[in-house]
């Protein structure tokens, strides 16, 4: 090893061998104890069932020897299984050691030669792998040792990378997204596996299958394991096959041209709308304290919303009573009866509940011409009356997008200033590192929250669904959209350090910090995980202070790039004017 290389294991290969050998001390016996002899009768063992060793005086503690301890542990694990399975496990335990009774390898061979079919029927995959590993160490033929060793390396490597992959947040049967591939090199200068034409997987499995054909004892075991492997939906082989199929479908489907765009029709009734006749409103599915909902409602009522269609995800009669003091508020209690009336079970994911409720509001219309789906921590910040803006949307557009503005967190009180992304400010991506020196390269637009904004959708269009960030027509995003000017979606995503920290666990597991982004940037999920692992709370606070905190330095850097938004914002005063005193 060259001097400039640092091994992953301190001490290098010597330390690895020392650690490995430290677990291979031989099993010792008390007087009268011994491994079953070579000529032990095997017939009938498959039908004899193991009882709980704690109920057998000969098996129960106190332990007289390491043999007694190991025998008890195996019988405890295999209670309810057969004595044949136990004998196989006991032999494996001995043959993993540095020394063992002289007849142990021969008895293991005899066991599989005479009772191999019964063992295949009774062993679970874990013990099947342990068995083939033992052939790799103690095979009588070159084929037994080579196949056993090769399968040992295969399954051991699988266990390592599949265990690490769990930290991606994806279940073992979930392939990665095609667009999320990193461009970093593989170790040892390996070429990346070719998804369309790679044959490494087929060659690996096929060669092992053919090699096992050369020995009648290991062949059934090896073939059985390989069959289990290629039929399991949770392996890299199945995931790669699925990804290959997706890529093939993608390549076979030409990109949509403008002529084939998914244009959602605009109702004829919208053609004669004026700012005076146009009616607009919001829909939201909310689980929040009364004061937060009242701020949301009062702000938008004073902005001129004709209707707020609020679905209470956590039903509460007192909250409904307060909010419906104003005639523009319509409350739906999303209780058991509500979901029963829909004819569908209540979705587990809150995002699915939001999208379902928003779509029901859009289809009902409620006399509105435009409806936006907005969350309780999002506030429209408009420099002109909303009806004027919506009346100016081209008649060719079925929905209009509102760009996001993330709140800056003051030391006390509610935010008064907001920031936009570089893209929405018309600036190149390179300015992010000027605005956010440490974290600008790792967060899209410098945002911790979403950078997609929200949309206003026209009502009265058949076969449409209002999602969280878009309008879908006939199952796909409508292509005829428009960008609203003079209005921002002020998002109180992290209005304070305490609020950011309190919501962190939920957002990481179920919300916006899940590992679902397909952007090339590191992303919120990966960045936050890295900071937690490397720096703990201090790392999180450094992120918040640079990206979210309303400081003079950050305001100056944002203003220099045209990314700072300063607008009057006082939802508490609006609450007092619209609802009066709250309980």
Q: Which tens digits make up the pLDDT trace of 503-517?
A: 888 888 776 776 654
**pLDDT at residue 252 tops 90:** no
Q: What's this model's pTM, rounded to 2 decimal places?
A: 0.58
- For the chain, give the mean pLDDT: 90
**pLDDT at residue 525 tops 90:** no
Average pLDDT over residues 347-374: 94
**pLDDT at residue 3 tops 70:** no
Task: Look up tokens 């006991």; give the residue.
Answer: 90
Average pLDDT over residues 103-109: 95
The secondary structure of 356-380 as a DSSP string is: HHHHHHHHH-TT-SEEEE--TTEEE
Question: Rounded to an integer, what distance in angstroms lies between the CA atom of residue 378 and that of residue 504?
Answer: 18
Question: For position 480, what pLDDT does the model report?
Answer: 94
Average pLDDT over residues 202-206: 91
Which bin fits 2, alpha (ψ -120 to 50), beta or left (φ > 0)?
Answer: beta
* Residue that wins the pLDDT comparison between 525 and 365: 365
Average pLDDT over residues 283-311: 96
DSSP 414: S
**pLDDT at residue 12 tops 90:** no
Question: For position 517, what pLDDT does the model report?
Answer: 41
For residue 62, whether the previous peptide bond is cis, meaning omega lies within 30 degrees of 0, is yes
Domain ranges, ordered by start, for the chain: 21-179+193-243, 278-578
Average pLDDT over residues 26-49: 94
**pLDDT at residue 335 tops 80:** yes
Q: Which tens digits make up the pLDDT trace of 370-428?
A: 999 999 999 999 989 999 999 999 999 999 999 999 999 999 999 999 999 999 999 99
Instruction: Give the pLDDT band (50/70/90) at residue 522.
Output: low
Question: For position 515, what pLDDT does the model report?
Answer: 63
Question: For position 47, what pLDDT does the model report?
Answer: 95
Give the range among 40-49, 120-129, 183-192, 320-329 with minimum mean pLDDT.
183-192
The pLDDT > 90 percentage for the chain reads 71
Q: Which tens digits make up the pLDDT trace of 530-574?
A: 888 888 889 899 999 999 999 999 999 999 999 999 988 999 999
State which fold the 278-578 domain adopts: Spore Coat Polysaccharide Biosynthesis Protein SpsA; Chain A (3.90.550)
Q: Which tens digits make up the pLDDT trace of 45-58?
A: 999 999 999 999 98
Q: Is 369 exposed, middle or buried (0-12, 13-18, 19+ CB in 10 A)?
A: buried
**pLDDT at residue 485 tops 50:** yes
């Amino acid at each position: 090893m060259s001097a400039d290389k640092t091994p992953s294991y301190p001490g290098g290969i010597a330390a690895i061998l020392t650690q490995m050998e430290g677990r291979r001390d031989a099993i010792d016996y008390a007087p009268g104890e011994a491994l079953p002899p070579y000529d032990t009768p095997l017939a009938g063992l498959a039908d004899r069932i193991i009882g709980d060793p704690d109920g057998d005086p000969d098996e129960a503690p106190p332990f007289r020897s390491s043999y007694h301890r190991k025998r008890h542990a195996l019988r405890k694990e295999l209670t309810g299984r057969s004595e044949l399975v136990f004998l196989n496990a006991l032999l494996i335990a001995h043959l993993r050691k540095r020394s063992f009774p002289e007849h142990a390898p021969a008895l293991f061979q005899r066991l599989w030669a005479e009772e191999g079919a019964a063992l295949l029927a009774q062993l679970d995959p874990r013990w099947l792998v342990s068995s083939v590993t033992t052939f790799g160490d103690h095979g009588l033929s070159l084929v037994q040792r080579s196949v056993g060793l090769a399968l040992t390396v295969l399954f051991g490597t699988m266990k390592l990378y599949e265990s690490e992959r769990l930290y991606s947040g994806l279940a073992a049967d979930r392939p990665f997204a095609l667009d999320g591939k990193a461009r970093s090199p593989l170790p040892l200068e390996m070429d990346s596996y070719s998804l369309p034409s790679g044959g490494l997987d087929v060659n690996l499995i096929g060669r092992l299958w053919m090699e096992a054909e050369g020995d009648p004892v290991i062949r059934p075991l090896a073939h059985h394991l390989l069959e289990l492997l290629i039929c399991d939906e949770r392996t890299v082989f199945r995931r790669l096959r699925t990804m290959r199929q997706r890529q093939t479908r993608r390549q076979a489907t030409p990109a949509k041209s403008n002529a084939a765009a998914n244009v959602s029709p605009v109702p004829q009734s919208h053609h004669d709308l004026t700012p005076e006749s146009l009616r607009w409103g919001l829909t939201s599915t909310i689980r929040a304290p009364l004061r937060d909902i009242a701020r949301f409602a009062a702000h938008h009522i004073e902005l001129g919303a004709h209707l707020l269609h609020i679905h209470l995800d956590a039903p509460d009669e007192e909250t409904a009573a307060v909010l419906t003091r104003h005639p523009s508020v319509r409350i739906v209690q999303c209780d058991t009866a509500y979901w029963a009336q829909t004819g569908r079970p209540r979705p587990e994911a809150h995002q699915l509940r939001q999208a379902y409720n928003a779509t029901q509001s859009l289809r009902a219309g409620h006399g509105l011409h435009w409806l936006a789906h907005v969350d309780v921590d999002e506030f429209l910040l408009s420099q002109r009356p909303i009806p004027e803006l919506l009346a100016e949307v081209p008649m060719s557009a079925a929905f209009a997008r509102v760009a996001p503005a993330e709140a800056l967190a003051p030391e006390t009180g509610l935010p008064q200033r907001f920031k936009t992304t570089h893209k929405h400010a018309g600036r190149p991506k390179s300015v992010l590192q000027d605005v956010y020196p440490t974290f600008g390269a790792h967060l899209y637009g410098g945002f911790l929250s979403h950078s997609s904004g929200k949309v206003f959708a026209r009502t009265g269009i058949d076969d449409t669904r209002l999602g969280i960030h878009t309008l879908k027509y006939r199952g796909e995003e409508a292509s005829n959209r428009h960008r609203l000017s003079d209005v921002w979606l002020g998002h109180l995503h992290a209005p304070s350090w305490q609020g950011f920290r309190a919501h962190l666990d939920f957002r990481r597991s179920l919300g916006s910090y899940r590992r679902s982004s397909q952007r090339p940037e590191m992303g919120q999920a990966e960045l936050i995980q890295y900071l937690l692992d490397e720096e703990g709370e201090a790392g999180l606070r450094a992120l918040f202070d640079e990206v979210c905190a309303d400081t003079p330095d950050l305001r100056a850097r944002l203003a220099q790039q045209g990314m700072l938004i300063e607008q009057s914002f006082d939802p508490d005063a609006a609450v007092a004017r619209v609802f009066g005193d709250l309980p």
